Amino acid sequence: MNQTGQLEGGYNSRTRANVIRLFYWNGAWVAATALMAFGPKFLWNKASVFTLLAVGLDLAVGAGMIVANKKYIAELDELQRKVQLDSMGITLGVALIAGVPFSVMDAYHVIPFHADIAYLLILMSLTFAVSSLFGTWRYR
């Protein structure tokens, strides 16, 4: 398809490269977060300097992950970007709607455990995954 194929393979290879880059940044962020969360207790005996360094590293890697995610979304085509935007909107809404009552229930001891932020992160991750799958299925 020489007449039209000057960009042949361009979109797919570009998206693949962006996904791989995002995957590495996500992995680095998870590792930096684990270091920040467990390092004070298991590696440097709660020394504040090292904890601050770990926090700084986590923020820096987190910023890199955000940039990688922004680049990934910016280089998606318009339909894929719409699916992502819809999923992010649903995730934000669910986090807000579920997060506030969850916190209130914790404050008034309606639930027998502490409303840890990890529960909200898990809910957001699952919501985003389901929304993305639904969006992909909808436009298949």
Q: How far apart are CB 92 and other proteins at their closest, in Å?
A: 23
Which tokens hold the place of 139?
């436009």
Question: Is 42 or 137 the residue whose CB approaches other proteins more closely?
Answer: 137
Question: Is 79 or 133 the residue whose CB approaches other proteins more closely?
Answer: 79
Question: Is 7 or 49 the residue whose CB approaches other proteins more closely?
Answer: 7
Q: How far apart are CB 134 and other proteins at their closest, in Å?
A: 14
Question: Is 57 or 71 the residue whose CB approaches other proteins more closely?
Answer: 71
* CA dist., res. 11 & res. 6, Å (int): 11
Cα 18–119–52 angle (5° rounding)? Answer: 70
Q: CB of 113 within 8 A of CB of 47?
A: no
Looking at this protein, which amino acid is placed at residue 46? K
Q: How far apart are CB 86 and other proteins at their closest, in Å?
A: 12
**Residues in the site for other proteins, rule: CB under 8 A?**
1, 4-12, 15, 77-80, 82, 136, 138-140
Cα 19–24–28 angle (5° rounding)? Answer: 145
Q: How far apart are CB 52 and other proteins at their closest, in Å?
A: 44
Report the 10 Å Cβ neighbour count for 113. Answer: 7
